Amino acid sequence: MKLSDVKETATPVAGDKTMAAKETKAAEAAATEETTEETAPGLSLQDLSSVLKIIDICSERGSFKGSELEAVGALRGRLQAFVAANAPAEEEQKAEEESTNE
């Protein structure tokens, strides 16, 4: 029997480098999946406000064709309404600031 025959038929043991490499790869894959779930993409109200500013700047610079203006304007209107509806009221913010200052 040759040494190469033994290596091919041998069952990997816990200390075997190939077994350890496979376990490491599996652990890395599991960690990557967990990280991906934790850092799911999202948008904040500040992000949406920035989009509104970008639309305004592009409009001022003439970046949109005339046929696109209606769609861009409608989108801007929906974004503005969403931001306004979800932004905390100024009175509530002032009340919170006063209560934390006391």
> Residue 79: its pLDDT value, please?
95
Q: What does pLDDT average to over the chain?
A: 76
Q: Give the residue ranges of DSSP H helices in 1-102.
A: 3-9, 17-38, 45-60, 69-86, 90-101
Confidence of residue 89 (pLDDT cuts 50, 70, 90): confident
Confidence of residue 48 (pLDDT cuts 50, 70, 90): very high
> Residue 39: its pLDDT value, please?
74
Instruction: Decide: 83 and 41 in contact? Cβ < 8 Å.
Output: no
Radius of gyration, alpha carbons of the chain: 29
pTM recorded for the entire structure: 0.51
User: Is 75's pLDDT higher than 70?
Assistant: yes
